[in-house]
Amino acid sequence: MPEMNTKAMYKLSYGLFVCTAVDGEKKNGCIINTAIQVASEPNRISVAVNKANFTHDMIKKTGACNISVISREASFDLFKRFGFQSGRDVNKFDGFAPSSFDTAENGIPFITEGTNAYFSLKVESEVDLGSHTLFICEPTFMTVLSDAPSCTYEFYQSDIKPRPEKVGVTPAGETIWRCRICGYEYVGEDLPDDFICPICKHGKVDFEKITR
Ligand code: FE
> Both 89 and 184 in a single domain?
no
Q: How many angstroms separate the alpha carbon of residue 144 from the centre of ligand 1?
A: 31
Residue 102: strand pairing partners: 110
Each residue's pLDDT tens digit, 152-176: 999 999 999 887 656 556 667 788 9
Q: How many angstroms separate the alpha carbon of residue 104 from the centre of ligand 1?
A: 31
Q: How many angstroms separate the alpha carbon of residue 204 from the centre of ligand 1?
A: 10
Identity of the amino acid at 98:
P
The per-residue pLDDT for 144 is: 98
Q: How many angstroms separate the alpha carbon of residue 20 from the centre of ligand 1?
A: 21
Q: How many angstroms separate the alpha carbon of residue 138 from the centre of ligand 1?
A: 33
Q: How many angstroms separate the alpha carbon of residue 141 from the centre of ligand 1?
A: 33
Question: Rounded CA gap, 198 and 33, in Å?
Answer: 21
Q: Is residue 76 part of a domain?
A: yes
> Both 127 and 74 in a single domain?
yes
Q: How many angstroms separate the alpha carbon of residue 187 from the centre of ligand 1?
A: 14
Q: Domain with 191 in it: what CATH number?
A: 2.20.28.10
* Confidence check: pLDDT of 179 > 80: yes
Q: Is residue 104 part of a domain?
A: yes
pTM: 0.88
Output 68 or 170, whichever has higher pLDDT.
Answer: 68
The per-residue pLDDT for 51 is: 93
> Both 132 and 195 in a single domain?
no
Q: How many angstroms separate the alpha carbon of residue 59 from the centre of ligand 1?
A: 25
Of 61, 60, 35, nearest to 47 by C-alpha is: 35
Question: Rounded CA gap, 166 and 172, in Å?
Answer: 14
> Both 104 and 187 in a single domain?
no
Q: Is residue 1 part of a domain?
A: no
The per-residue pLDDT for 13 is: 95
Output 26 or 7, whichever has higher pLDDT.
Answer: 26
> Both 86 and 28 in a single domain?
yes
Q: How many angstroms separate the alpha carbon of residue 184 from the centre of ligand 1?
A: 5
Q: How many angstroms separate the alpha carbon of residue 32 from the centre of ligand 1?
A: 15
